[in-house]
Structure 1
Amino acid sequence: MSDFRESIDIDRSPEDVWDYVVDFSHLPDWQASAVSAQSLTEGPVGVGSRVRVVRHIGRREIPMTMEYTEYDPPHAWALQGVDGPIRGHVHGEIDPIDDGRHSRLTIELDFEGKGIGKVLLPLVVRPQIRKELPHNERTLKERLEHGVA
C-alpha cells in the first residue's frame, strides 16, 4: 500500500497525457516542489533510464536521482529513488476512459528516508506531499486541458 495515492480525470487521450507526464522537462511546470529536472541517460527513455530532479523540500533544495523501473507507454511507469536523503518510489498509471477520449491518471508515492531524510520524512516531506499531490494533479489537468501542452 502506498503512502499517497491520487487520481484525476483529464480531458485528453492517454497518449497526450503520457507524452507530457514522462517528459521531465515539464516537471517544474506542474509539480510545485520541482525546481529542475534533467535526463542522465543518453538515448530513448526506458527501464534503467535515470533523471536528476532537484526539489524544494522545506527550506532546502535537494537533488535526487530517479531510475525508471517500469516504462509501458502510454499506460504505466515507475521510478525509484537511488540516492539522496529522501528516496521516492513513484508509480503512475494512465487508464483510457470514454473510449480513449479521456484519461484517468493515478499517481502513487512512497518514500524512504536515509540519514537526515529519516527526520525530514515525517516532519517535512509527508505533510508537504499531502498538500502538494492533489494540487499537482489539478495543475497538470489544467495545463493539459487549457494550457500550452
Structure 2
Amino acid sequence: MADFQSSIIIERPVAEVFEYLITLENITDIMPNVVKLEKLTEGPIKKGTKLLETRNVRGRETKAEIEIIEYEPNRVYTTESVAGGITITYKYLFEAIEEGTQAQFEADVKIKGLFSFFSRRALVKILKQEDGYLLRYLKEEVEGKKEGTE
C-alpha cells in the first residue's frame, strides 16, 4: 500500500501527458522543490536510466540519485532513489479514457534502522507536502499548454 497517492483526469491524450512528465526540463514546473533534474546515463529515457535530482528541502539543497525502475511508454513510469537506508519509490500510471488521461501517482517510503518508524512518518509527511500535488500541477501545465496559457 502506498504511503500517499493521488489520481486526476487530464483532458489531453496519454502520449502528450506522458511525454510532458518524462521531459526532464518540465519537472521543476510540476515539482516546485526540485531545482534541477539531470540525466546521468546516455541515450533515451528508459528502464535503468539514472538521474541526479537537486531539490530544495527546507532551505537547503540536497542531491539524490534516482533510477527509473519501470518504464512502459504512455502507461507506467516508476522511479526509485536509495540513500542512507531510505528508499523512495514514485510510480506514475496512465490510462486513456474518454476525457483524455486518467493519471495516478503512488509514493512509497521505506527506512531501515532503529528509529525507522518515527523518521519514516516525518519523511512521508514532508514528501507529501512537497510532492503530493504534482498531478494537479501536471494537469495545469499540460492543459494550460493546450489553451496556450503558459
What is the TM-score of this pair, normalised by structure 1?
Answer: 0.84
Unpaired runs of at least 5, structure 2: none
Partner of 1:59: 59
Partner SS state of residue 65, structure 1: strand
Instruction: Using the TM superposition, give the Cα deviation of residue 24 of structure 1 relative to its aligned residue in structure 2, in angstroms.
Output: 1.7
Number of aligned residue pairs: 145
Instruction: Using the TM superposition, give the Cα deviation of residue 44 of structure 1 relative to its aligned residue in structure 2, in angstroms.
Output: 1.4
2:45 and 2:20 map into 1 onto residues whose CA distance is 14
Partner of 1:74: 74
1:2-81 pair list within 5 angstroms: 2-81=2-81
**Contact 2:4/2:132 (CA < 8 Å) preserved in 1?**
no
Instruction: Using the TM superposition, give the Cα deviation of residue 132 of structure 1 relative to its aligned residue in structure 2, in angstroms.
Output: 3.5
Instruction: Using the TM superposition, give the Cα deviation of residue 120 of structure 1 relative to its aligned residue in structure 2, in angstroms.
Output: 5.5
Q: List 4+ stretches of structure 1 deviating above 6 A.
A: none
Instruction: Using the TM superposition, give the Cα deviation of residue 32 of structure 1 relative to its aligned residue in structure 2, in angstroms.
Output: 2.1
Shift of the 25–121 alpha-carbon distance from structure 1 to 2, 3 Å rule, reads farther
- The RMSD of aligned alpha carbons is 2.3
Q: Encode CA deviations 1:7-39: one digit per residue, 9 max, x unaligned.
A: 111011000001010112211111122111000
Instruction: Using the TM superposition, give the Cα deviation of residue 86 of structure 1 relative to its aligned residue in structure 2, in angstroms.
Output: 4.5
Partner SS state of residue 42, structure 1: coil
Q: Encode CA deviations 1:119-145: one digit per residue, 9 max, x unaligned.
A: 76433x322333334432211111100
1:65 and 1:57 map into 2 onto residues whose CA distance is 15
Shift of the 59–120 alpha-carbon distance from structure 1 to 2, 3 Å rule, reads farther
Shift of the 114–57 alpha-carbon distance from structure 1 to 2, 3 Å rule, reads farther
1:44-123 pair list within 5 angstroms: 44-83=44-83, 86-98=86-98, 102-113=100-111, 121-123=120-122
- Matched letter for residue 52 of structure 1: L
Instruction: Using the TM superposition, give the Cα deviation of residue 84 of structure 1 relative to its aligned residue in structure 2, in angstroms.
Output: 5.5
Shift of the 85–33 alpha-carbon distance from structure 1 to 2, 3 Å rule, reads farther
Are 1:126 and 2:144 matched, yes or no? no
2:54 and 2:87 map into 1 onto residues whose CA distance is 12
Unpaired runs of at least 5, structure 1: none
Shift of the 10–144 alpha-carbon distance from structure 1 to 2, 3 Å rule, reads same
2:120 and 2:82 map into 1 onto residues whose CA distance is 16
2:24 and 2:51 map into 1 onto residues whose CA distance is 8
- Matched letter for residue 134 of structure 2: N
Percent identity of the aligned residues?
26
**Contact 1:33/1:55 (CA < 8 Å) preserved in 2?**
yes
**Contact 1:6/1:133 (CA < 8 Å) preserved in 2?**
no
